[in-house]
Structure 1
């Protein structure tokens, strides 16, 4: 799944690892209900959807209910302070910029390293690796508005509607983020790191 989507909801893992019948995400929603303070009954769905996303992703939920492509280092959403819209902030692993790869005169046999990979996943270099060689790890930061029209309304309070509305918010945001980011990720993967 990781190769074809930037984000996906891992329903199977969620059900298999749950303590009860509700699923890990629903259990974590109720444990983290304070994340939704200030979102209840809001006319705009933004605060509620951002809280649903926070609960579904690391560090609150590890591993996340929402999973992401190996090139994605972080993904958050925030309310835009200018107009109240929903903004996604995603950081992606990238190859070095073209001016650095066109000529290697800056390289000078210093043993420069890029992003380390473990089992195909990009990771931060270990402290011992940083002590041995310089590392150049390029990233891309995507800040993009997400449409609000298909997002669910924020529930009036912490009631039985919360899990369904939160799940719907995640489904919509995952779809919108996939449409937005998969062309970028596909291009990065074709060029390799």
Structure 2
């Protein structure tokens, strides 16, 4: 299974048959009175089914330092991807005052994690006021990057949903440099919790 690099925020799993089963369970999401959805809405539904909490573990895996990616729409119906990134307080150090004054995210390192991309989690206990920073990057997705759906169920739906999810993962991965810059700005100076 491929691993994350500085150029990847999302990877699509090889468990396509499992994803197909989830799509079959949620087939009603992929049509409007029997007609296929517009590409943007189709891709948003395909992504939603491919990720947690609908599919867990998901067909799409997010890099551990990415809190969440959710589809949304602008006022004109254009598809957006909202990338949530948890930041250490260091990103706002000048405005927060002395270090240690506020509680911060805890680092979670699962067994076997190399520590290069720690997942930040909410503290399990609070002994002082905590400032938990989250940045949201909003990425517009143009329709020409997305497949035009023609199916509302079956193997064709599964293949078109896979294509849509891979296209969205490509859009996300193209955003890796600014996400990495944000994370570097909030990187801890030392160990930390």
TM over 0.5: yes
- The gaps in structure 1 that reach 5 residues or longer are 15-21
Alpha-carbon contact 1:39-1:47 (below 8 Å) kept: no
The answer to whether the aligner puts 1:114 opposite 2:108 as a matched pair is: no
Counting only pairs closer than 5 Å after superposition, residues 51-90 of structure 1 correspond to structure 2 as 51-80=45-74, 82-90=75-83
The answer to whether the aligner puts 1:124 opposite 2:122 as a matched pair is: yes
Alpha-carbon contact 2:31-2:152 (below 8 Å) kept: no
Counting only pairs closer than 5 Å after superposition, residues 153-192 of structure 1 correspond to structure 2 as 153-180=148-175, 182-191=176-185, 192=187
CA distance in 1 between counterparts of 2:67 and 2:95 reads: 28
Please point out which of 145, 149, 152 is paired with 2:144. Answer: 149
Shift of 1:69: 1.6
Q: TM-score scaled to structure 1, two decimals?
A: 0.79
Shift of 1:124: 2.0
Q: TM-score scaled to structure 2, two decimals?
A: 0.79
Residue aligning to 2:13: 10
CA RMSD of aligned residues (A): 2.4
Please point out which of 14, 35, 44 is paired with 2:38. Answer: 44
- The gaps in structure 2 that reach 5 residues or longer are 110-117, 189-193
CA distance in 1 between counterparts of 2:103 and 2:166 reads: 37
CA distance in 1 between counterparts of 2:171 and 2:34 reads: 24
Please point out which of 93, 104, 111 is paired with 1:101. Answer: 93
CA distance in 2 between counterparts of 1:39 and 1:84 reads: 19
Distance 1:133 1:40, change over 3 A: farther
Larger RCO: 1 or 2 (CA < 8 Å, sep 6+): 2
